Chains A and B, each alone.
Chain A
Amino acid sequence: MSILQVKGLVAGYEPGLSIVKGASIQADEREIVVILGPNGAGKSSLIKAVAGLVPVTGGQVLLDGRDITHGAAHLRVRQGLAFVPQTENIFPLMTVDENLRVAGGVLARCEVQGRIDETYVMFPDLARQRRLAAGSLSGGQRQMLAVGRALIVHPRVLMLDEPSAGLSPKFVEMVFARLGEIRRAGLTIVLVEQNARAALAIGDRAYVLVEGREAHEGRAATLWDDPVVAELYLGQRRSA
């Protein structure tokens, strides 16, 4: 059963200028869905539209069968849809602890501390720096903080926009290892990635987005070798 269904989504930043042009994707429970595509294809715009940050002019977003297409962004978090943007995904002037705590607003008051402690168990690096301004963290630690914060609410679907971008190989490996753990804990993951090989290695289903629309869909394991996909997009990267 699909937990997240996006049907023919049309979205854009300015009226009359669609960036996402009828994209359809779906994610089943406990799946890792990978979205690949060239720069400027609209991957970030698609995932932001699903999160409620880009105005939608057509199509539907269903979470667990429920239509959330036009719901406010902040309500989607309560409904179980969490999002980690690619950049500016932490509050730099607040401490690590405050970054987590501020996201706990949707929880019952008594739950917050427990969830924060949980996050520190998962990311011990963060626990050591809980009193530091988040802006002083390294790129990898910021990404951990952003992921940890998204998980605070125990979402059912976690969407991430290029979580490995700009990280050192050590952190890239760590990010993908953590995503595997998160899926095993029962979450569904929608992952936009440039790092196609690593993403397809942990992914179940994959889409290739070209010009605001999915150009190809398939099992992640086989997508890497698919000649159509190679021609569409991956070819140039594989030879690179």
Chain B
Amino acid sequence: MTLQFIADGLISGSLIGLGAIGITLTYSILRFSNFAHGDLMAWGAYGTLAVVGGIGEVVGGAAPIGALSFGWPLILAALAGMVMTACLALLLDWLLFARLREKGQSIIVVMASFGASMALRSLLEFIFSSSPAYYSRGIQMAMPIGFGIRITPDQIVLLGVTVVLVTAMHLFMSRSQTGREMRAYSQNPALARVVGIDVSGVVRATWIIGAALACAAGVMVGILVQIRPLMGLDLLLPMFAAAILGGIGSVPGAVLGGLIIGLSEAAAVQLIGAEWRSAVAFGILMAVLLVRPVGLFGRAER
């Protein structure tokens, strides 16, 4: 047995955690389970791919940065992709979710998100085909870092990026006025209006943040694994498990939940076999719902 699963688990866990932030915010603020969240991830990855292609057309290829598999065009494209994914989420909200939310039945919004998920996925398959795509064709060498663990330069850098994003997100939620308003609204929507909080601003911020982080996670999956229309759907269950394990509404909880799910999956793959990977998230989800439904950082409703 080696400790390789720790590195693998931390990396996939941090991506799950990034995605779970959007799920936990959507659930606690907009009050529905967004099953289309994984597809925002895939759209972000493909949107970024399209922009990378566009940059390549205009300026020609760019050399990778140092030992990484990608160069500055991918970084720029990922930023553009985050903006595009946020716009897509706002569009979906305007077209679909806002109208249904007004009617006040959350189960209808959830069903609509199923529909949106299918539509978004089919559209991706239609535009980009269902065969996998890659940001770069290069193969990276994994370096030994001791204890029998090997890790690639891409993995190290993306772990760092995740730490930065999660820290920024935590500071935003705890220190900024918009973050405070989002937390206030999730605790008591009526009181939030009483203290002068503009609900539409909170809703917008929730979509923008969730979608931008989903795109970031999608691009990272694209860099480390591959880009496929189904990539988001595959991560949906682990992301929900992470959000619920961490406690709905908690950003640090979602990230910690993601890491736990990622590490457990990687351990299961190494110890039992790869075919058990997807059972792990499901098992953890069930256990949390039965034993501690409010999750690690969750608090019982009023």
A-side interface residues toward B, CB under 8 Å? 51-53, 72-74, 77-78, 83, 85, 88-94, 98, 101-106, 149-150, 153
B164, CB-defined interface residue at 8 Å: no
B187 engages A93 (CB within 8 Å):
yes
Using a CB-CB cutoff of 8 Å, which residues 270-294 of chain B contact chain A? none
Output the least CB separation between A97 and chain B (Å): 10
User: What residues of B have a CB within 8 angstroms of the CB of A91 in the complex?
Assistant: 183-184, 187-188, 191
B190 engages A74 (CB within 8 Å):
no
Partner of B188, one of A73, A83, A88, A101: A88
The residue of chain B having its C-beta at the shortest distance from the C-beta of A83 within the complex is B194
B-side interface residues toward A, CB under 8 Å? 177, 180-181, 183-184, 187-188, 190-191, 193-199, 299, 302
The residue of chain A having its C-beta at the shortest distance from the C-beta of B190 within the complex is A53
A102 to B180, CA, bound (A): 6
A153 to B174, CA, bound (A): 22
B177 engages A102 (CB within 8 Å):
yes
User: What residues of B have a CB within 8 angstroms of the CB of A77 in the complex?
Assistant: 194-196
29 cross-chain CB contacts under 8 A: A51-B194, A53-B193, A53-B194, A72-B198, A74-B193, A74-B198, A74-B199, A77-B194, A77-B195, A77-B196, A78-B196, A85-B194, A88-B190, A88-B302, A90-B191, A91-B184, A93-B187, A94-B184, A94-B187, A101-B177, A101-B180, A102-B177, A102-B180, A102-B181, A102-B195, A102-B197, A104-B177, A105-B181, A153-B196
User: What residues of B have a CB within 8 angstroms of the CB of A52 in the complex?
Assistant: 193
Output the least CB separation between B120 and chain A (Å): 32
Output the least CB separation between A108 and chain B (Å): 12
Output the least CB separation between B213 and chain A (Å): 22
Output the least CB separation between A138 and chain B (Å): 17
User: What residues of A have a CB within 8 angstroms of the CB of B199 in the complex?
Assistant: 74
B187 engages A74 (CB within 8 Å):
no
Given contacts A74-B199, A78-B196, A105-B196, contact A88 B177 (CB under 8 A): no
A94 engages B196 (CB within 8 Å):
no
B187 engages A89 (CB within 8 Å):
no
User: What residues of A have a CB within 8 angstroms of the CB of B184 in the complex?
Assistant: 91, 94, 102
Output the least CB separation between A35 and chain B (Å): 18
B195 engages A93 (CB within 8 Å):
no
A85 engages B193 (CB within 8 Å):
no
Output the least CB separation between B248 and chain A (Å): 12
Given contacts A92-B302, A93-B299, contact A103 B195 (CB under 8 A): yes
B193 engages A73 (CB within 8 Å):
yes
A86 to B249, CA, bound (A): 26
* Contacts A91-B187, A101-B180, A103-B195 supplied; 12 other A-B pairs, CB < 8 Å: A52-B193, A72-B193, A73-B193, A74-B199, A77-B196, A93-B187, A94-B183, A94-B187, A98-B180, A101-B177, A103-B196, A105-B196
Partner of B195, one of A53, A92, A149: A149
User: What residues of A have a CB within 8 angstroms of the CB of B180 in the complex?
Assistant: 94, 98, 101-102
Given contacts A98-B180, A105-B197, contact A88 B299 (CB under 8 A): no
A73 engages B181 (CB within 8 Å):
no
The residue of chain A having its C-beta at the shortest distance from the C-beta of B180 within the complex is A102
The residue of chain B having its C-beta at the shortest distance from the C-beta of A82 within the complex is B194
The residue of chain B having its C-beta at the shortest distance from the C-beta of A89 within the complex is B191
A105 to B188, CA, bound (A): 16
Partner of B177, one of A72, A73, A85, A105: A105
A106 to B194, CA, bound (A): 12
A92 engages B197 (CB within 8 Å):
no
User: What residues of B have a CB within 8 angstroms of the CB of A101 in the complex?
Assistant: 177, 180
User: What residues of A have a CB within 8 angstroms of the CB of B190 in the complex?
Assistant: 53, 85, 88
Output the least CB separation between B226 and chain A (Å): 40
A53 to B192, CA, bound (A): 11
The residue of chain A having its C-beta at the shortest distance from the C-beta of B196 within the complex is A77
Output the least CB separation between A73 and chain B (Å): 4
A184 to B302, CA, bound (A): 36
User: What residues of A have a CB within 8 angstroms of the CB of B197 in the complex?
Assistant: 74, 102, 105
Ranked 5 nearest A-B pairs via Cβ: A77-B196, A73-B193, A103-B195, A106-B196, A102-B180
User: What residues of B have a CB within 8 angstroms of the CB of A106 in the complex?
Assistant: 196
Output the least CB separation between B192 and chain A (Å): 8
Output the least CB separation between B29 and chain A (Å): 14
A92 engages B194 (CB within 8 Å):
no
User: What residues of B have a CB within 8 angstroms of the CB of A72 in the complex?
Assistant: 193, 198
User: What residues of A have a CB within 8 angstroms of the CB of B195 in the complex?
Assistant: 77, 102-103, 105, 149-150
A216 to B190, CA, bound (A): 30
A85 to B190, CA, bound (A): 10
A88 engages B191 (CB within 8 Å):
yes
